[in-house]
Structure 1
Amino acid sequence: MSLNRRTFIKNSSLLLGYSLFPYSSLYAQANPKQIGVCLVGLGNYSATVLAPALQITKHCKLTGIVTGSPWKIPKWQKRYGIPDKNVYNYNTMHEIANNPDIDVIYIVVPTGLHAKYAINAANAGKHVWCEKPMAKTEAECQAIIDACIKNKVKLSIGYRMQHEPNTQTVIKWATTKPYGTIKTVRAEIGYNVGNPARTWRLDAELGGGTMYDLGVYALNAARYTTGEEPISVSAKQMTTRPEIFTETDETTHFTFDFPSGAMAYGKTSVGKSMHELYVDCQKGWYTLAPFSMYSGVQGKTSDGTLLTIPIRNQQAKQMDDDAVSIINDTPVLVPGEEGMKDIKIVEAIYKAAKSGKTLSLS
């Protein structure tokens, strides 16, 4: 059945956010120390996922917005009680430097604009949360990291899955290897989007493309599941709708070789629904299916162990974890260096697909 990804995200996130709204009041009363968060970019993800999630966080509070769409401002102010002094546009966001209500600037604009506004945020002296993928290029990622180091602010990348408890079990198993040496990993993520709207995700200049948008989840999963960095990559890209995907990929397949001899097979598409991480080991196997959706992540193993630790809201946990690192001045779970590693590989995947050759990543 065809699934419109935008509709699915909007409906599921609204249900998660509003069904838990009373919970936020209890948290706010019990935890006076909260990190003020300013969302930069009020598109679908901010409006239907992050803003509702911020209402149920323990250590965060939505205190500001940056938007280039003035018509959105009254709606956001009414819903979240944001005062005029905490509302900015893209030309005035540098003034956030003088606003004590805002501790963190969360970058939620198209990927091709991440570097520009993440650097602006760091230069304003505020901690930076940058949505995945970190940026379009490795060089842009490094520029963001350098700006955060220069301004002595923390940088965290919005990989929500690494905060999810069942995924954290899989990450731990990369070291403990309860089922023996990992032989192969298969990571697949996709949505069957029947007629995608002409948005920035179809615009190569703005960082569109299925590999950037969805494929980084499969790529990142291959890395955290093995606990290794790939040493070579091969890839191919294709489309069944060339009239729509004129600049970006509809489907991407990639294969990694790891130093241990393990191999990973990744696939991402907006032509097919798939959400599975499968790990084949010397003494058994384990899987998460779905492994990347906003809710319901669960799995099982060859010996019958179930991976079903519940979580209220992935984005709320992600932001709370990152807020705690600010409050306690401890390392973030997913630093900029982690995001940059993925982007280096994404660039290699596109090159490998174009050349038809296996490329070394060393």
Structure 2
Amino acid sequence: MKQTNYLFRHNRRKFLKDLSFAFGATAFGLPMASLASNQVLNPETLEQQGSQGAAQQKKLGIALVGLGRYSTNQLAPALQETEHCYLAGIVTGTPSKAEEWKRKYNIPEKNIYNYETYDQIADNPDIDIIYIVLPNGMHAEYTVRGAKAKKHMISEKPMATSVADCQRMINACKENNVKLSIGYRLHFEPHHQRVMELGQKQLYGPVQRIEAADSFVFQGNPDRWRLDKELAGGGPLMDLGIYCVQGAVYTMGQAPVAVTAKFGEVTRPEFFDEVEQSISWQMEFPGGAVADCSTSYNENKNLLYGKAEKGWWRLQPSYAYGGIKGETSEGPMNIKNVNQQARQMDDFARCILENKQTRVPGEMGLRDVRILEAIYEAARTGKRVEIKA
């Protein structure tokens, strides 16, 4: 429990205060090998009832671990719209949040946990899925513990802060016969699904170039976990740049083979004394296509662009929770926005109920963390870094 113990002695950053933690309170679309937990539906039941019937009969309970802004503003509201899963429980170190959520979402007392009682979730049949929405450096510990509790797991992106931790998460889920999914919501967003189709099916011919940028101006208190190297694993590359990596990879339908990268200038050292302020990088793909990418905590950009032999496409804004707009060389995409998180969680619930592979498995998260590590290495050394599968 390295990360948990670290939080108890972490005075410089204020994450401890915010959570009241001390008071207890690879290639695109890799398949998963693990099977559904027997707490959901066993194979014999599925054979008897049929996968469609099983999905209709059971609505899976999700417990959110960490009640920060993403859980509060996105995941919990989305779970009010889902068809195959619902908000069954919470894990928080802040008693006031527990009471607020209990009232707002009518959560039974027995389904409310803190970080000291987290492992007791193993005894709760109401909870089928645990969604880890904690700082990046804590994803591995809480995913492994959740898997040992025999619950199916979703880890928010990035999967973890190292390839080794990603592998630990995958191994734990396989050993405990539960499924693991990564919170890659844009795989379920129709504009991005159209980009996948345009790029992978080469509807405008082979892709030649991709441009991706995701940035915002980091403001407020500098004592935030996203600026802490141990908790975040890095700066905007881990937080935002992963969307650029993902966008390029699912445009191509394949992983890059090499990267070059460069850190940007630090103009706000009071914020960026541990993690990068900005970084730009280029990914090389088999066949010669390249993706020029950038991310920053000191500017506003939101773009995914692709140029092929016979046409182009652009999503701008591209990575937002809503309001995504797309166009191609033939005109506007005219695609409606959807609740991305609701679709993401519903899809995973159906994967469990129907014993199918998730399209965003742990192996995909590991692949992406391997790419992020290569980008950091290239930026540190100034050298071209090859990416091994």
Whether TM-score is above 0.5 comes out as: yes
Deviations 1:277-323 (A, max 9, x none): 1111111111111110000122111122x323213311111111111
Deviations 1:47-81 (A, max 9, x none): 11111111111111101111111221110100011
Q: Shift of the alpha carbon at 1:243?
A: 2.2
Match of 1:99 in 2: 124
Distance (whole Å) between structure 1 residues aligned to residue 154 and residue 334 of structure 2? 28
Q: Shift of the alpha carbon at 1:32?
A: 5.8
Distance (whole Å) between structure 2 residues aligned to residue 229 and residue 32 of structure 1? 38
User: Is 1:114 matched with 2:139?
Assistant: yes
RMSD of aligned C-alpha atoms?
1.4
Match of 2:58 in 1: 33
Contact 1:211 1:346 in 2 (8 A): yes
Unmatched 5+ stretches in structure 1: 1-29
Match of 1:280 in 2: 307
Match for 1:178 among 203, 207, 226? Answer: 203
Matches within 5 A, 1:210-359: 210-238=236-264, 239-304=266-331, 306-359=332-385
User: Is 1:154 matched with 2:190?
Assistant: no
Q: Shift of the alpha carbon at 1:193?
A: 3.0
Unmatched 5+ stretches in structure 2: 1-54
Distance (whole Å) between structure 1 residues aligned to residue 338 and residue 381 of structure 2? 44
SS at match of 2:178: coil
SS at match of 1:291: coil
Match for 1:77 among 97, 102, 126? Answer: 102
SS at match of 1:234: strand
Match of 1:24 in 2: none
Contact 2:60 2:84 in 1 (8 A): yes
Deviations 1:85-109 (A, max 9, x none): 1111112111111111000000000
Contact 1:31 1:58 in 2 (8 A): no
SS at match of 1:337: helix
Deviations 1:324-356 (A, max 9, x none): 111111111200011111100111111111111
Report the count of equivalent residues: 332
TM-score by length of 2: 0.83
Q: Shift of the alpha carbon at 1:176?
A: 1.3
Distance (whole Å) between structure 1 residues aligned to residue 128 and residue 99 of structure 2? 23
Deviations 1:160-189 (A, max 9, x none): 111101111111223211111111100111
Distance (whole Å) between structure 1 residues aligned to residue 133 and residue 85 of structure 2? 17
Contact 2:189 2:338 in 1 (8 A): no
| 2:318 aligned partner, one-letter code | F
Distance (whole Å) between structure 1 residues aligned to residue 376 and residue 370 of structure 2? 10
Match of 1:60 in 2: 85
SS at match of 2:134: coil
State percent identity of aligned pairs. Answer: 47
Distance (whole Å) between structure 2 residues aligned to residue 264 and residue 188 of structure 1? 10
Match of 1:21 in 2: none
Q: Shift of the alpha carbon at 1:195?
A: 4.3
Distance (whole Å) between structure 2 residues aligned to residue 151 and residue 162 of structure 1? 26
Contact 1:166 1:308 in 2 (8 A): no
| 1:335 aligned partner, one-letter code | P
Contact 1:57 1:320 in 2 (8 A): yes
SS at match of 2:380: helix
